[in-house]
């Protein structure tokens, strides 16, 4: 493993961005609302979709520039899907890595303007691994590598798959950074919206929701504030509803803003 990025001072506000495929557009809506209200962001920890959005935002902390990029992103932009590609995954991750490389100035995680951590799962050791330094594109790929869909990513002598397998909302990692306030964004809060399963992706999605449920409760216990966008009936597996998903994230964050500001004041954090 590369050395972790050392934070000179504990973060005032740390944001935990959870996994959820194309529901990740809601994270951008949340970041836009936080930006507009001048909420300081000193650390972002992202899992899966949260790691992709987190990397892009931490590299260039301007939601206004990130919005059009995310709204235009489609599954074909980041998935190089092939049924004959591999015995361990239908998506190599090369398109996703190219996407990250093209839209991030930083080549390594430790070079981002806001400290950033991508969470992946060491498949063979069965443990969650926070990637706080090292090459940013493969690290995000590792965090997003949904089992049976993506090929696992091999780095540092480990075999990585989606960070959400063990830590879908990494509020625990934000808490361990000694942040004064931890804000978690849950984009997989609605576990009942998928009433039927019609293909293997939906079977996998529903199975993951059930498996992650209890684990997620434990992680969210480390958050001071939890933002839960209303994403019912919005597809998680394509970019067709990115605008509606973004809007839901923005609305959810704005609704929580009085509570967020109250929390910051109680911790002695000023809002400029």
Residues serving a catalytic function are: 48, 162
Q: Where are the alpha helices (DSSP H) in the chain?
A: 25-36, 49-59, 63-72, 75-78, 94-103, 136-144, 171-176, 200-220, 242-266
The residues that bridge with 130 in the sheet, in sequence order, are: 119
- Cα 232 to chain center, whole Å? 19
With 0-12 CB in 10 A as exposed, 13-18 as middle and 19+ as buried, what is 89? buried
Query: How far is Cα 59 from Cα 105, in angstroms, rounded to an integer?
Result: 7
Q: Are 71 and 56 in contact (CB under 8 A)?
A: no
Query: How far is Cα 78 from Cα 74, in angstroms, rounded to an integer?
Result: 7
Task: Kindly report the three-state secondary structure assignment for every residue of 124-153.
Answer: CCCEEEEECCCEHHHHHHHHHCCCCCECCE
The residues that bridge with 15 in the sheet, in sequence order, are: 44, 183
Quote the tokens at residue 124: 């063979």
The two most distant CA atoms of the chain are separated, in Å, by 56
Query: How far is Cα 227 from Cα 20, in angstroms, rounded to an integer?
Result: 14
Q: Residue 60 carries which DSSP code?
A: S
């Amino acid at each position: 493993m590369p050395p972790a990025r050392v934070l000179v001072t504990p973060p005032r506000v740390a944001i935990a961005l959870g996994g959820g495929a194309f529901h990740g557009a809601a994270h951008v809506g949340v970041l836009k609302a936080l930006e507009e209200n001048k909420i300081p962001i000193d650390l972002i920890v992202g899992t899966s979709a949260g790691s992709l959005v987190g990397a892009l935002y931490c590299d260039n902390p301007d939601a206004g520039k990130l919005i059009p990029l995310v709204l235009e992103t489609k599954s074909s932009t980041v998935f190089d899907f092939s049924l004959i590609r591999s015995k361990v995954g239908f998506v190599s991750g090369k398109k996703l890595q190219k996407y990250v490389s093209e839209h991030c100035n930083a080549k390594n995680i430790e070079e981002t303007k806001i400290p950033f951590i991508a969470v992946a799962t060491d498949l063979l050791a069965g443990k969650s691994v926070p990637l706080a330094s090292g090459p940013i594109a493969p690290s995000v790929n590792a965090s997003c590598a949904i089992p049976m869909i993506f090929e696992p990513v091999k780095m540092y002598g480990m075999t990585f798959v989606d960070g959400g397998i063990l830590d879908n909302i990494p509020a625990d990692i934000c808490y361990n950074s000694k942040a004064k306030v931890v804000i978690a964004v849950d984009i997989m809060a609605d576990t009942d919206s998928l009433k039927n399963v019609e293909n293997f992706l939906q079977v996998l999605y529903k199975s993951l929701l059930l498996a992650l449920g209890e684990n997620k409760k434990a992680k969210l216990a480390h958050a001071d504030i939890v933002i839960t966008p209303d994403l019912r009936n919005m597809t998680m597996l394509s970019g067709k509803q990115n605008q509606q998903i973004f809007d839901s994230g923005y609305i959810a964050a704005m609704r929580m803003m009085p509570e967020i500001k109250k929390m910051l004041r109680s911790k002695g954090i000023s809002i400029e």
